[in-house]
Structure 1
Amino acid sequence: MGICAKELRHYVVRPTLKHLRMWSPTAENLLLGTAARESGLGFHLKQEHHQALGIYQISPRMHRNIWDHYLAKKSDLSSLIRGLASQREFLAHPHLELATNLSYATAIAWMIYYRTDKPIHKVPHDDVHAMGKLWHNYYHRHHPGPVESFVDSYKALITDSIEMEKSLSESLKTP
């Protein structure tokens, strides 16, 4: 089992997006879906035979690409994101931050989408299939997997966990 979807939403994804001044319900759900699809919400932080790390499974190559080709040109945004990283560890082991620092990893995952300049905010926050297309088209360039894999992961780990939590809360209220 990975991280509780509700807790990841409220304690990591939403505050990180708000820190970046980029919060929207669609951005929040897209990142939750990405974490669900990529790592089972943190069930795996590094998959065997892969270099990618963390709940969003970001490769060191993609991490460098975001910094060298996107954030290097945006000093205010890069400063906000660098502020999320650990002071010493980031300098010694920058890619390890993707596995150990949820807020930093969330910011970098969001940059993978944000740098595309696509109107992500126009996608309805509850259209999981449309978010799956964003994941498929922009998150991975090679071998992303089918859109349905995103949809299935979202339904199983995000939607179902929210429904289960509501049901549990209601059952605890009744004597």
Structure 2
Amino acid sequence: MGIAASELSQHVIRPTLIYLGRHNASAEALLLGAAASQSALGWALDDRRGHGLYRIDARRHQLLWDRHLARDPELASQVRGLASQHAFLAAPHLELTVNLRYATAIAWMLVEAEQLPLPAADDLLGLARLWRQVFQPQGRLRDFTDAWSRCVGTLPQVA
């Protein structure tokens, strides 16, 4: 298996969402579930379907920059600040594979660009539906819930 779910949340997902000013339990759970279902939490980081934890393909990455981030220069600068200074210019899509915080920020921006309501953090089927809409339109809800069971285990506790 790739990265431990608790460590991915604690050291990558949560700090990235906090940095972006977008942290909440539902966002964290969605991204954790997306990483579990897309790459088994980093077990396979690069294949023909996309790059990194969230398997984002180069076309979607470019479209996100062109259609969403370009409209908000302050947000674009904040996201760009997570990328490697020189490597991003030479191979921007490679950042999705080698830079976990940048990949997480881009994954969240894909969610945000869809302008869909977030389900509760403990609503696994709701999270699965949102994952399917944003990350895997041809996926099955069971793909998400099975990946969650295998890689994450328990549902997040909502206060």
TM-score band (shorter)?
Answer: over 0.9
Q: What is the rounded CA distance, in whole Å, between the counterparts of 2:2 and 2:41 in structure 1?
A: 5
Change (3 A) 1:76 1:33: same
Aligned letter for 2:132?
H
Once the two structures are superposed, what CA deviation does each residue of 1:133-168 show, in whole Å capped at 9, x if it has no partner? 001122234xx31011001101211125x9xxxxxx
Report if the CA contact (8 A) 1:97-1:105 is conserved: yes
Give 2:105's aligned residue: 107
Equivalent position SS for 1:115 = helix
Q: Which of 114, 117, 120 is the aligned partner of 1:116?
A: 114
Give 2:87's aligned residue: 89
- In the superposition, the TM-score normalised over structure 2's length comes to 0.94
Aligned letter for 1:114?
E
Aligned letter for 1:159?
G
- Stretches of structure 1 lacking an aligned partner (at least 5 in a row): 163-175
Q: Which of 133, 141, 154 is the aligned partner of 1:137?
A: 133
Q: How many angstroms does 1:131 deviate by?
A: 0.2
Q: What is the rounded CA distance, in whole Å, between the counterparts of 1:158 and 1:51 in structure 2?
A: 22
Give 2:141's aligned residue: 147
Q: What is the rounded CA distance, in whole Å, between the counterparts of 1:22 and 1:136 in structure 2?
A: 21
Give 1:45's aligned residue: 45
Q: How many angstroms does 1:51 deviate by?
A: 4.7
Once the two structures are superposed, what CA deviation does each residue of 1:91-131 show, in whole Å capped at 9, x if it has no partner? 011000000000000000011111111121xx111111100
Q: What is the rounded CA distance, in whole Å, between the counterparts of 1:150 and 1:26 in structure 2?
A: 15
- Stretches of structure 2 lacking an aligned partner (at least 5 in a row): none
- Bigger radius of gyration, 1 or 2? 1
Give 1:10's aligned residue: 10
Report if the CA contact (8 A) 1:34-1:150 is conserved: yes
Aligned letter for 1:140?
Q
Q: What is the rounded CA distance, in whole Å, between the counterparts of 2:135 and 2:74 in structure 1?
A: 23
State the superposition RMSD in angstroms: 1.5
Q: What is the rounded CA distance, in whole Å, between the counterparts of 2:149 and 2:74 in structure 1?
A: 36
Q: Which of 43, 61, 64 is the aligned partner of 1:63?
A: 61
Aligned letter for 2:92?
P
